[in-house]
Structure 1
Amino acid sequence: MLRLAPSHAVVATALVAACSAGPAVAPERAAAASQLVVRGAGFGHGVGMSQWGARGMAARGADAARILGHYYRGTRVGRLTRSPVVRVALQWGRRETTIAGASSIGGVRVDPGRSYRLRRTGPGIVAWTTGERPRRVARAAGAVRVSGGGLLRVAGRAADGVVDGAFRGVLDVLPDGAGVLVVEELGLEEYLRGVVTGESPASWPAAALQAQAIAARTYAITTSIGGRPFTQWPDTRSQVYRGVSGESGPGDAAVRATAGQVVTRRGRPVTTYYFAASGGRTEDVEHVFGGAARPWLRSVADPAEGDAPLHRWTRRFDAVSADRRIGRIAPVGALRRIEVLRTGSSPRVVRARVVGDRGRRDVTGEQLQRALALPDRWATFTRTSISGCLRPRPAAPRAGTALRRPLAAADPAGGALQLLQRGASDLAVGLDRRARAERIVRERCRLVGGAAGDGTAERAARLQRPDGRRWRTVRRVRTDRAGRFDLLVPRGGRWRVVVGVAPTPETRAER
């Protein structure tokens, strides 16, 4: 065995250390930012007629009967033999209401030019004149009916958002809990005048408004609020009703053109659910509202609504917001991912699994929609994350810098000299390599992150940086089977990675 002089040993030791060390700085830790990205389609519950789809069909020349037959399978347009009345709630949850335009309150004739305050007093309702010297004009233990020769005005905000609105028909003011309930009673056709262009814009094609009128008329007579002294809410829980303020020339024309017409199956009116936009396909009723399947409320393609505002949409939630919202329905700690377990005939979520760092829980599509305030249940969920600026990984140690070929046994001194010379050369190479590695540490940083969700494993990803108001793709990368990425970027500026279609939060590569 060749023995080296002490000076030779020092050189060899320095050589091995320099060539194997790589960057002298250990990788730093940087907190990761994460967000939940929800991509979806449609707006509403997805059952029955898509209003934007009806608009698209009308623009292509379809009439109201064809539109309704497309969305309500196996039905036809029939006609009512009589027109019922509708009772729609206007105000509730307040101690009193003020009404103008009345000619009779509780059977007592009053001045239509004055306003009257109807207040909950004990178990009943008391009506007073307004002004400096109020005078009681009527009292009842139950409901007080208010009627007039023209329009009745209800002061304040009604439940449909109308302020100081005007209404047709008669009003009933009833005791309700600790306050009063104001209910309007009017004919079905008058009611529809305040619904049609409250639900669909007056600028839409006539056939779309006529389809809306027929669907709204049918819905009003086939649904009722159980256990309450009214049949319809004034908002999306039933149909949007805005009284006289909701009336319009095109809407009134649609009501007149379809007077008495309803959607029927086997001669009987059927429930005609409708909603804003389908995203391209409607849903089977049982997957949204539960209960038995109904043959006229089946999933159908909806190709005509492509320009609907919420045909496609994206919602993003930072980690704190996502954890808080999901925690209301599934206390599983910090959210890791949401797995869709079952969809309906369209991609709308029926059942999903929420996975967090403290467990997992199954939830319904309705629960997710409400918790995240999503426009629709047609949704995919991806949790993305990205680190702050990390130092690049140390270079892997390189073997073989000690002695590349055996020295001649016959020339131990010459062999030692050769080793010293090669060592000095390799030391210079190693020091240069180390300098380059340290320069990379100074000039570049490493971004680590990933995406957990539907279809994110081994997906093409895009590294992006801002270019004005838009994000520009710098290069394409690929994630591993777990949806993770690990890449180097120049220091300075803002960066993000889009995995599939889901972006990570932006991060900064500080100089």
Structure 2
Amino acid sequence: MGHFVRHLILLLSVLALAAGASAATPPGDSAPAPAPALSSPVYVLTGGGYGHGVGLSQFGALAQANAGRSYRDILDFYYPGTTIATSPRSRVRVLLGAGLTTVTIGSSVPFAVRDATGARTPLPAGELTLAPDLALTIDGQPTVLPGPLAFLPGKGGPLTLGGNGYRGELRVSVVDGALQVIDAVGLDAYLFGVVPGEMPKEWPAAALQAQAVAARSYALANLVKNRPFDLYSDQRSQVYRGVAAESPSTTAAVKATRGEILTFDGKVATTLYSASSGGRTAASADVFGVPFAYLRTRDDPWDAESPYHRWPPRTYTSAALAKAFGLPSPVVDVEIVPTPSGRPASVTLVTRAGTRTLLKAADVRARLRLRSTAFRIGVLRITRPSGPVAPGAPVTVSGIARDVDGAVLEKLGATGAWLPTAKVAPAEDGAFQVTVRPTATATYRLTASGLPGPALTLTISDGAS
């Protein structure tokens, strides 16, 4: 409640300032002392990481591999409590396309097609184009085969779809008058086309092996239900690019971990992963609303090697922040409710007009084009002292330095350089006070994370008393 009251008092003060509000002084009453003027706030955005931050940090896996840790060490760190087990299945069905008017299937070697009756028809090397009537040219004659059709690879070469190679069988069926193509492929052969798209093939073997086990487990834990296929070939499952994506190093990682998955309490673990945790993994409950005991928040020192571990900080003015979120009035305060992981659960923008806009962290990430939701929006504000200032007299400069790092009050020197004057030690709510003794008119500013914030000029009056 105290936190809410502090924000309410600050908001009312700003509203009064913006509106130029004043109350008439009743006859016989003395005029109230002028209220201190509040500077426009400057917002400091800091953060780190890339992606949702749940589970394995890929750059953290890289650091651990470089330190000589095995892929099992890496998996134990990011998925604590899980157990290595053997996959209960060896094949998956991956949706490659749907709603298609035509498809082109081919092979560099002779191949075959099997129709719905089980009859198998040999086909010469080359390409053929199918329409929803499923008509093929066989021995020079147009022939309609009963669907669905399964195209079978020949010896020495995978099938192609639209020129892209895929291992396994390509199954073509007609759904709602259009063509649907599914790749029925071995689980590990599927991973041959997944792992190199998720992690650079040049990375150490232990990192690639950890990625292979995580990708294999994630696929089996998230099989599509009530459809004629098990997985999508895009981000709805994992990006699957087929033969074109394969590389010797990632294929070797899949083979080295053949059939291995992670389980927890006898079930395949949902092994989420992302590029960089920003130094602390997020709990699945905080990001996706689904709690998993092995996907909890924890410090991740291994992520320090990530180029996304810490972002360059940036600042926003009240007007710039309002513009970014399409608000008609400048933002006078930002309130963040954190999750147990330390990431924002929600962000509330308070405007000069008194409106309050509640946002999800994902919405803020999208609007500000951030790489993850591991961010903070700090507030810098200075309260301008009222009344004249005598030379050398103590002056209290107060304000807000909330959710920022390294707040410092600086003074503009005679050479034009800003000189540190005092470190700012804000209270829990961000409030601070610093005493200065200017002997001549001086300009001060508040900084944090090395970035400039609001400034004020203290005018010295020789006749001040």
C-alpha displacement at 1:256, in angstroms?
1.5
Residue aligning to 2:348 = 353
Within the alignment, does 1:115 sit opposite 2:127 as a pair?
yes
Residue aligning to 2:303 = 305
Contact 1:78 1:267 in 2 (8 A): no
SS for the counterpart of 2:358 is: strand
RMSD over equivalenced CA pairs, Å: 4.3
SS for the counterpart of 2:104 is: strand
SS for the counterpart of 1:377 is: coil
Residue aligning to 1:455 = 403
SS for the counterpart of 2:278 is: coil
Residue aligning to 1:211 = 210
Once residues 41 and 161 of structure 2 are traced to their aligned partners in structure 1, the CA distance between those partners, rounded to angstroms, is 49
Once residues 200 and 211 of structure 2 are traced to their aligned partners in structure 1, the CA distance between those partners, rounded to angstroms, is 10
Residue aligning to 1:68 = 75
C-alpha displacement at 1:42, in angstroms?
0.8
CA deviations 1:64-97 (Å, max 9, x no partner) are 11211111111221223x4332222333455333
Residue aligning to 1:500 = 448
Residue aligning to 1:413 = none
Change beyond 3 A, Cα 1:351–1:177: farther
Residue identity matched to 1:455: D
Once residues 175 and 447 of structure 2 are traced to their aligned partners in structure 1, the CA distance between those partners, rounded to angstroms, is 54
Once residues 365 and 318 of structure 1 are traced to their aligned partners in structure 2, the CA distance between those partners, rounded to angstroms, is 17
Once residues 457 and 305 of structure 1 are traced to their aligned partners in structure 2, the CA distance between those partners, rounded to angstroms, is 20
Residue identity matched to 1:249: P
Change beyond 3 A, Cα 1:289–1:87: same
Within the alignment, does 1:78 sit opposite 2:76 as a pair?
no
Residue aligning to 2:26 = none
Contact 1:75 1:263 in 2 (8 A): yes
Residue aligning to 1:342 = 338
Residue identity matched to 1:97: V
Contact 1:174 1:180 in 2 (8 A): yes
C-alpha displacement at 1:169, in angstroms?
0.8
C-alpha displacement at 1:365, in angstroms?
1.6
Contact 2:167 2:243 in 1 (8 A): yes
Residue identity matched to 2:369: A
Once residues 101 and 320 of structure 2 are traced to their aligned partners in structure 1, the CA distance between those partners, rounded to angstroms, is 37
Change beyond 3 A, Cα 1:92–1:254: same
C-alpha displacement at 1:268, in angstroms?
3.5
Q: Quick one: which of 103, 126, 133 aligns to 1:97?
A: 103
Corresponding residue pairs, total: 382
Change beyond 3 A, Cα 1:325–1:126: farther
Residue aligning to 1:87 = 93
Residue identity matched to 1:103: F
C-alpha displacement at 1:112, in angstroms?
4.1
Change beyond 3 A, Cα 1:183–1:354: farther
CA deviations 1:171-212 (Å, max 9, x no partner) are 233446675443222010111111222211122111111111
Residue identity matched to 2:151: V
Matches within 5 A, 1:377-456: 377-382=373-378, 454-455=402-403
C-alpha displacement at 1:310, in angstroms?
0.9
Once residues 273 and 103 of structure 1 are traced to their aligned partners in structure 2, the CA distance between those partners, rounded to angstroms, is 38
Contact 1:116 1:127 in 2 (8 A): no
Could you tell me the TM-score, scaled by structure 2's length?
0.68
Residue identity matched to 2:419: R
CA deviations 1:349-391 (Å, max 9, x no partner) are 1122122345112222222223333211100125789xxxxxx
Residue identity matched to 2:237: S
Residue identity matched to 2:372: D
Q: Which runs of 5+ in 1 are unaligned?
A: 1-31, 156-163, 386-394, 399-449, 465-471, 485-496, 507-511
C-alpha displacement at 1:483, in angstroms?
9.8
Change beyond 3 A, Cα 1:50–1:357: same
Residue aligning to 2:16 = none
Contact 1:339 1:454 in 2 (8 A): no
Once residues 294 and 306 of structure 2 are traced to their aligned partners in structure 1, the CA distance between those partners, rounded to angstroms, is 24
SS for the counterpart of 2:128 is: strand
Change beyond 3 A, Cα 1:317–1:92: farther
CA deviations 1:432-485 (Å, max 9, x no partner) are xxxxxxxxxxxxxxxxxx998843699425689xxxxxxx9643477998899x
SS for the counterpart of 1:73 is: coil
SS for the counterpart of 2:160 is: strand
Change beyond 3 A, Cα 1:207–1:278: same
Tell which deviates more after alignment, 262-271 or 452-461: 452-461
Q: Percent identity?
A: 32
Once residues 138 and 462 of structure 1 are traced to their aligned partners in structure 2, the CA distance between those partners, rounded to angstroms, is 82
Matches within 5 A, 1:267-286: 267-286=266-285
Q: Which runs of 5+ in 2 are unaligned?
A: 1-38, 382-386, 391-397, 434-444, 455-465
Contact 1:35 1:322 in 2 (8 A): no
Larger Rg: 1
Once residues 135 and 380 of structure 2 are traced to their aligned partners in structure 1, the CA distance between those partners, rounded to angstroms, is 60
Change beyond 3 A, Cα 1:503–1:269: same
Residue aligning to 1:475 = 419
Within the alignment, does 1:44 sit opposite 2:42 as a pair?
no
Once residues 188 and 82 of structure 2 are traced to their aligned partners in structure 1, the CA distance between those partners, rounded to angstroms, is 22
C-alpha displacement at 1:505, in angstroms?
10
C-alpha displacement at 1:54, in angstroms?
1.3
Contact 2:43 2:380 in 1 (8 A): yes
Once residues 376 and 251 of structure 1 are traced to their aligned partners in structure 2, the CA distance between those partners, rounded to angstroms, is 27
Once residues 128 and 399 of structure 2 are traced to their aligned partners in structure 1, the CA distance between those partners, rounded to angstroms, is 62
SS for the counterpart of 1:306 is: helix
C-alpha displacement at 1:223, in angstroms?
0.7
C-alpha displacement at 1:503, in angstroms?
4.0
Change beyond 3 A, Cα 1:83–1:397: closer
C-alpha displacement at 1:257, in angstroms?
1.3
Change beyond 3 A, Cα 1:139–1:474: farther
Once residues 477 and 279 of structure 1 are traced to their aligned partners in structure 2, the CA distance between those partners, rounded to angstroms, is 32
Contact 1:384 1:452 in 2 (8 A): yes
C-alpha displacement at 1:278, in angstroms?
0.7
Contact 1:456 1:499 in 2 (8 A): no
Once residues 457 and 312 of structure 1 are traced to their aligned partners in structure 2, the CA distance between those partners, rounded to angstroms, is 13
Change beyond 3 A, Cα 1:474–1:370: same
Once residues 226 and 42 of structure 2 are traced to their aligned partners in structure 1, the CA distance between those partners, rounded to angstroms, is 44
Residue identity matched to 1:366: A
Matches within 5 A, 1:230-249: 230-249=229-248
Once residues 321 and 148 of structure 2 are traced to their aligned partners in structure 1, the CA distance between those partners, rounded to angstroms, is 46
C-alpha displacement at 1:322, in angstroms?
5.0
Residue aligning to 1:429 = none
Change beyond 3 A, Cα 1:326–1:84: farther
SS for the counterpart of 2:170 is: strand
